[in-house]
Chains A and B, each alone.
Chain A
């Protein structure tokens, strides 16, 4: 568990690099603004601006990372903030700011680096799109907003950038807006994540009201620093939970929406309607990981009041949701045939692993998987994009096959990504990051359930990836036309990502847990002896067995087979109803359709009916009663209002509805009533004011 008790002292004075940290998100945002004003034919300029600005951000991010690193190597953990007052109301202030610490530094480098590769890849992938310029405008805006989420030292600033990220995700999913399915998927994504966001917003205002600040760190006065946390723990909420727990859970609801956790995962597979680089950048590597990052950022809140060796309610919820999501999505992935949908469910599943890792093992465990996953999942999506490109926009894996010969570079890199995702032992980064999660799960005291779920999920992961790779790259070519390898501008980023899909493992092994040490702020010792410890060896063996079983089983079922779409899947033959359920995504969308969405539509009709019939009806009745009354009042009917008006109103009333029939032509009646009231009151007034 992350305690960091004997960690370094934090160095908090803001250095020069922290002062200019805001440039990292600002530069791509400005670029987006400039690109928005460009004319569509200025393709090259748009791409250059987008790539150049992000490269510039990467340089600053690297400098910031270097600053944190040099602090760490010289024995102090860096956590520098730059805060400012954004809004003053009453005597309170709303402060915003940014923070440079190991967590944000790592994330900054990852987002800018992976983002840059995907930007470059996009110039190839989107080369023939008529809205190329707009694509890079949205991409840059996304990068800026995402980097804003990363550096935010204020829950409000984070939320603002978070919503902007949601907007760009919406715009990019619906990029091909003329396809109704893309437009619908965009809307679904925005609304589903907004379900989480309204809870998130409540969490924000609650935290704000309770602690008086939304800053994370502010020299001891921040909202997730000890003083504030003590107050939150002491404040009761409901059901015996403290305010800290409930606020933590509300924030987690927001994170669950963004990170596609159960039960809000439904939007992410549909988001594959967006262009593939978008899927790689936003819906695999960065944005969907923002929820995980958020939980990591507010981790002190999530673990507030944790007894030694125990856990908290909030973290228990995070763990169970994560573990359940990991298995749920992996099961569905097994029975999908769209190359991107398989990866999408895989992403949902892996995000579940990250959440479970956070819940079980702390920030370092969850974040390490986030970082390795960002690289190998971006690699897989871009590989899938390369495949789709190479086979002329086909996405059904059953209509591919044998591509390892036609697309050797794509195949080699994809295989590395697949092995990293499956957690193939020792060589691949995914093994080490997943291993960390499983290890933490094994040690969990409150339940062994998550451990078994995650183990099962790992088998499934190896299985569905083997199935996919066999279908796509092995067997016979079943598509139409000739498959071709993608251009260099697309394959080079693949190779770079593949390199990291392997190399990143080095920083997170038990022998040299650099990643954890860096994040938690203590020295990392190299102890090769750890590799010899029985605990490690047992886990290594377990993981190896899991992965090899999954891959072996998958190969046995699907290896080198050349299925045709008409043919039923081997597993389908074994258990048709189970397969059908998985293929149909366990009917979650259908369930939401007949419950929430049906309620939404029905209640809209109720609201409309209430308006037209009930509230409108009462008005009609009242007016009718008054008009009857007025008929007795002929006395006042002395042509105050001229006849032309009456006539006009009569004419118009014939065109109106029920209300119109009752009301039209009565205006003068009301004027009269008003006049009568005024006269009566004036009389009373004068009478009563007599001495």
Chain B
């Protein structure tokens, strides 16, 4: 089983290597660190797009690379990308580029800063392509370290506690995850996702684990879920998030919300559902309660915030809650073609939502970065007013991002949420019905932001608030164009993920 298997150029290795090489160069590049980082990010995006464009049409893993690593421990270097992985690669590459673009005012140790950002990107690439637990876990943790230092060294006034809490909390989740997975390994002797998924799909995995370790399968499922629940986050494991998101410098927050939160959702789809589908189905009701709480209470908590970054932090919790809702709702044995259609809708919706939230949330934090540059760091929701007057373009473009976050049809945010509700409603109608409250509350939150920041009379101190200059407009325009494009032609993305969705659902056992 273990052998060498590559298709021509090892694209995925190349992809992970690019930012690492970039990071090393950036460290020693003197004043052009940002330029180097930008180049590395652009190159990564190009490679990611190549991967995305050349996926196997049957939804299986493409670009497979397989090399024995530590055979005695079942560890091998096994990479691959299907529609889900590839879309996350593209998302990570886009958000990393956006983040580097946004970070043009790093005065302190810019070389280290950009090197860390690139390392983080490499961690993401590794985690989204690894097909072996050991390898995957390495990158999962690896991405945490640059994130920690980026918050710790460049963050706001309370960055220390925020970074520590972020690190410790995620680490605690990782420990649970690791312990659970070691249990699986002890029983099966395998760390290979593909192999384990196959075992789980026939029900063998549970038999083997139970035979070796006793009836611990539900506990292993809890451990794995806990690890991902922290990362996503799922309420009530989210308390690290508002502090981390608000204390991190905004470009780093873009990475945290745009990409790292997706690692949790990705883990749910790559590890939790394939291996522990039956156990998750057994716990479905409480999990759905948590997902609905994440959606509804996340939105409501956003309504109580005064710091714009915290508003959007909680709004992120809310938006990822829809992913959790879709994931837990689809965890039922499908007994009819109609149920299968609902599962396919929900899963497509979840993956679309991952991508769309990544883009939209990252863009919102980019606007926060631009706002703070102009306001001298002020970002309280009540500190502004009437900014539309001095900065109409700023208001207009941020308005588009805000309405995307609100789920306005025609922009990217709507499609994923629509498909999730389409899938969830027939499978868990109570959860869906309560969750629509989240749509309403989110709208209230976002319109309140617009009302308080952009409308009303302009306070004297902001009368000269500078509008976006041409360079900024040009930098933002592609992202906004992308949001419109996906909103109008979501098939562009669904074409790539739907075969994988069908493939995944066929291998999951609930």
Determine how close the nearest CB of chain B comes to the CB of A314; give it in whole angstroms. Answer: 19
Cα separation A184 to B174 with both chains bound (whole Å): 46
Q: Mark A616-654, 1 if CB is under 8 A from B, else 0.
A: 101100010000000000000000000000001101110
Partner of A89, one of B242, B303, B450, B501: B501
Bound CA span A616–B235, Å:
11
How far in angstroms is the closest Cβ of chain A from B510?
Answer: 16
Asked if A209 meets B409 with Cβ closer than 8 Å, knowing A618-B236, A667-B167, the reply is no
Residues in B with CB closer than 8 Å to A496 are none
Pick from A45-53, A198-206, A263-271, A320-328 the stretch touching chain B: A198-206
Residues of A within 8 A of B418 (CB): 156, 201, 205
Enumerate chain B interface residues (CB-CB to A < 8 A).
Answer: 157-161, 164-165, 167-169, 171-172, 174-175, 178-179, 182, 185-186, 189, 235-236, 238-240, 242-243, 297, 300-301, 303-305, 338, 340-345, 348, 386, 388-389, 403, 408-410, 414-415, 418-419, 421-422, 425-426, 432-433, 436-437, 439-441, 443-444, 447-448, 450-451, 454-458, 490-491, 494-495, 498, 501-502, 505
Is A500 in contact with chain B by the CB < 8 A criterion?
Answer: no
Neighbour of B341 across the interface among A87, A90, A673, CB < 8 A: A90
Binding stretch for chain B, among A189-197, A360-368, A431-439, A523-531: A189-197
Interface size class of A (residues with CB under 8 A): 35 or more
Q: A-B pairs with the 7 shortest C-beta distances?
A: A652-B160, A90-B344, A660-B161, A656-B161, A160-B409, A183-B455, A608-B304
User: Which of the residues A209, A618, A655 comes within 8 Å of B426, measured between beta carbons?
Assistant: A209
Q: Is A9 an interface residue (CB 8 A)?
A: no
Bound: A606/B450 CA distance, A: 23
A258 to chain B, nearest CB (A): 15
Contact A664 B160 (CB under 8 A): yes
**Cα–Cα, bound, A566→B172 (Å):** 71
**How far is A657 from B454 in the complex, measured between Cα atoms in Å?**
32
Q: Does A30 make an interface contact (CB < 8 A)?
A: no
A residues near B (Cβ < 8 Å) are 86-92, 156, 159-161, 163-164, 167, 170, 174, 177-180, 182-184, 187, 190-191, 194-195, 198-199, 201-202, 205-206, 208-209, 212, 600-601, 603-608, 610-611, 614-616, 618-619, 623, 648-649, 651-653, 655-657, 659-660, 663-667, 670-671, 673-674, 677-678, 681, 684-685, 688-689
One of A209, A608, A611, A657 near B161 (C-beta < 8 A): A657
Contact residues in B for A209 (Cβ distance below 8 Å): 338, 341-342, 422, 425-426
Say how far A667's CB is from chain B's closest CB, in angstroms.
5
Nearest CB on B from A3, distance (A): 32
Cβ contacts under 8 Å, B408 to chain A: 163-164, 167
What would 12 more interface pairs be, CB under 8 Å, given A201-B439, A615-B239, A619-B240?
A: A159-B409, A160-B410, A177-B388, A212-B341, A600-B303, A610-B301, A649-B160, A663-B161, A664-B161, A664-B164, A673-B175, A681-B178
- Which of B240, B388, B433, B490 is the one whose CB lies under 8 Å from A87? B490
A48 CB to closest chain B CB (Å) equals 22
On whether the beta carbons of A190 and B164 are closer than 8 Å, the reply is no
Chain B positions within 8 Å of A684 at CB level: 186
Q: State whether A685 and B440 are in contact (beta carbons under 8 Å apart), knowing that A209-B338, A209-B422 are contacts in the complex.
A: no
> With the chains together, A651 CA to B164 CA distance in Å?
13
Report yes or no: A183 in contact with B160, Cβ–Cβ below 8 A: no
A421 to B470, CA, bound (A): 52
Q: Could you list some 6 contacts between A and B, CB below 8 A?
A: A87-B490, A611-B239, A614-B236, A615-B236, A667-B167, A674-B175
Chain A nearest CB: distance from B403 CB in Å?
A: 7
Q: How far is the CA of A199 from the CA of B386 in the complex (A)?
A: 33
CA distance A92 to B341 in the complex (A): 7
Pick from B305, B348, B440, B457: contact of A178, CB under 8 Å = B457
Q: Chain A residues with Cβ under 8 A from B239's Cβ?
A: 611, 615-616, 619
In the bound complex, CA of A619 to CA of B172 (Å)? 11
Contacting pair B432 A202 (CB below 8 A): yes
Using Cβ atoms and an 8 Å threshold, which residues of chain A touch B158?
655-657, 660
B66 to chain A, nearest CB (A): 23
Q: Are B242 and A611 in contact (CB under 8 A)?
A: yes
Find out whether the CB atom of A191 lies under 8 angstroms from the CB atom of B160: no
Measured between alpha carbons, how far is A201 from B421 in the docked complex, in Å?
A: 9
B352 to chain A, nearest CB (A): 9
| A648 CA / B153 CA spacing, docked (Å) | 10
Q: Is the CB of B304 within 8 A of A605?
A: yes
Centre residue among A90, A202, A212, A665 by max chain B CB count within 10 A:
A90
